[in-house]
Chain A
């Protein structure tokens, strides 16, 4: 299937889902769905650098927060409309990713991973000290209760935006995966030195992959301030984003665009249930344990099981 056909199908499905959900009366559905969609984007984004290229980013929360705080800054500055805010957040996060990548990708992947981990702390410190976006006390965004275009609530608009963005992220991931660029990334992941000696411009591809991945993570964060109408550092930089963006692709399967989608929907839904019934700390513990279990015992994730089962059937 060509990428154009996939894109058409993805957006058609997205619009269908968005339209169908107007029939749902339960408002909680939108809250839960928003969160799951957020994770679909984050997991898909992480996997572009993680699963496709083999570089681990521990600082997903940082780039997510860049998107969120760019929204807040632009909204406070001149009440920018939603599409502008989304694009701005995406671009800004991409630029931050470019910066970090440029500084650390010439070295071993390990140093990139460590740099991303430390980046969270630094960005957090920066944001806490920056009063324009509320600093440690946080900032409020007051939104109209009704949504535009006749939607009954503003959150419905956010939800639709997220569905479209999730489709967008999946289309981008698949386009990269199936392109020549994607082959180069896979070569880098398997053996970077051999890739370089096969003519793959490894540094350039790594930087590009980092930029796209971080930009999409930022995109996931742009609607957060609108969603919860209040933003403060510890929720924007929440540990939940960091661990989930790694656990979901790992559990779903890192080799293709389907893995993060499956991981996000499954794990995200489970977490919504657990969070409501048990505490959120237990929820995170379960995610952490699943991460360690899968990485040691089932490193290829759920999609890995599917492939193995399919290959066994072929024999």
Chain B
């Protein structure tokens, strides 16, 4: 295990009945690193995210976070250690306002490792809403937001867990160019706060602009992992995306 690794995924295999979604995947992230994770649809990216965060259990392999083996931990426990994720299809708490949505991870995740007084939760939530540009919508019901605002809320909620590693799962899918830039700025801002980010995207220009390193997943296997330019020029990667 490399010194100073934040997340270490080794030999992770996940099967659904007869179908192998992940096959011996190795993957690591250093503190504060920006990693892009790309691959064709169905290649296992979301499955990998689910295994890392604990909503699915891998059959083989190990997952270590800050040196700790988290394979047996329930998802909420991993979140409390400093992992966070956004969902591809936003899952807001629809009975709550935008502000209250953030209060949940603040109260249940962030408070576990960052002591702040319960009275300051609202203040913290507003602060994060400010960082994503949603302060004006704080009191709005979370069910009626626009697409891009929902994506921002998803990311804001993940940020409210005060993570050390944030996984952004296709937050930009289906957004316009300017909306993509908004999300990109949001994610880039995390770097200043020392948060490592795994960006899963199909919007290649965003991935190229954002990532220090790119990993490529195809049919459950990692076929490339390195700096963006060399990965994009990799023959296998081009073949996977464009076909033979």
Contact, CB under 8 Å: B76 / A200: yes
Assembled-state Cα–Cα distance A186/B79 (Å)? 19
User: Is B103 an interface residue when CB atoms closer than 8 A count as contact?
Assistant: yes
User: Is A197 an interface residue when CB atoms closer than 8 A count as contact?
Assistant: yes
Contact, CB under 8 Å: B96 / A190: yes
CB distance from B150 to the nearest CB of A (A): 12
In the complex, chain B residues whose CB is within 8 Å of the CB of A198: 76, 79, 104-105, 108-109, 157, 160-161
CB-based A-B contact count at 8 angstroms:
78
CB distance from A250 to the nearest CB of B (A): 15
Assembled-state Cα–Cα distance A280/B67 (Å)? 66
Contact, CB under 8 Å: A191 / B93: yes
Of chain A, the residue at the smallest CB distance from B105 is: A198
In the complex, chain B residues whose CB is within 8 Å of the CB of A194: 87, 91-93, 157
User: Is B74 an interface residue when CB atoms closer than 8 A count as contact?
Assistant: yes
Assembled-state Cα–Cα distance A184/B111 (Å)? 14
Known: A191-B93, A203-B74. A197 touches B107 (CB 8 A): no
Assembled-state Cα–Cα distance A193/B88 (Å)? 13
Assembled-state Cα–Cα distance A199/B160 (Å)? 10
Q: How many A residues are at the interface, by size bracket?
A: 20 to 34
Contact, CB under 8 Å: B91 / A191: yes
Assembled-state Cα–Cα distance A184/B107 (Å)? 9
One of A184, A189, A195, A199 near B80 (C-beta < 8 A): A199
Interface string of A69-101 (1 = CB under 8 A from B): 000000000000000000000000000000000
Interface of B is mostly: helix
User: Is A255 an interface residue when CB atoms closer than 8 A count as contact?
Assistant: yes
User: Is B55 an interface residue when CB atoms closer than 8 A count as contact?
Assistant: yes
Interface members, chain B 90-132 (any A CB < 8 Å): 91-96, 100, 103-105, 107-110, 112, 118
Interface string of A179-223 (1 = CB under 8 A from B): 010011011011101111111111100000000000000000000
User: Is B165 an interface residue when CB atoms closer than 8 A count as contact?
Assistant: no
One of A184, A199, A203 near B79 (C-beta < 8 A): A199
One of A180, A193, A199, A202 near B109 (C-beta < 8 A): A199
User: Is B152 an interface residue when CB atoms closer than 8 A count as contact?
Assistant: no
Of chain A, the residue at the smallest CB distance from B143 is: A190
CB distance from A280 to the nearest CB of B (A): 36
Contact, CB under 8 Å: B95 / A255: yes
One of B80, B94, B160 near A190 (C-beta < 8 A): B94
In the complex, chain B residues whose CB is within 8 Å of the CB of A193: 55, 87, 91
Contact, CB under 8 Å: B93 / A184: no
In the complex, chain A residues whose CB is within 8 Å of the CB of B110: 199
Most B Cβ at <10 Å: residue of A190, A195, A255: A190
User: Is B47 an interface residue when CB atoms closer than 8 A count as contact?
Assistant: no
One of A191, A199, A201 near B161 (C-beta < 8 A): A199
Contact, CB under 8 Å: B94 / A197: no
Contact, CB under 8 Å: A184 / B96: no
Known: A196-B75, A197-B55, A201-B76. A186 touches B107 (CB 8 A): no
Task: Known A-B contacts: A184-B108, A198-B108. Give 20 more (CB < 8 A).
Answer: A184-B107, A186-B93, A189-B95, A190-B93, A190-B96, A191-B91, A191-B93, A194-B92, A196-B55, A197-B76, A197-B85, A198-B76, A198-B79, A198-B105, A198-B157, A198-B161, A199-B79, A199-B109, A201-B76, A203-B74
16 residue pairs of the A-B complex, CB under 8 angstroms, read A180-B108, A183-B104, A183-B107, A186-B93, A190-B93, A190-B94, A191-B94, A193-B55, A196-B74, A197-B84, A198-B109, A198-B157, A199-B76, A199-B110, A199-B161, A201-B108
Query: Which 4 A-B residue pairs are closest in the complex by CB-CB distance?
Result: A199-B109, A199-B108, A190-B93, A198-B105
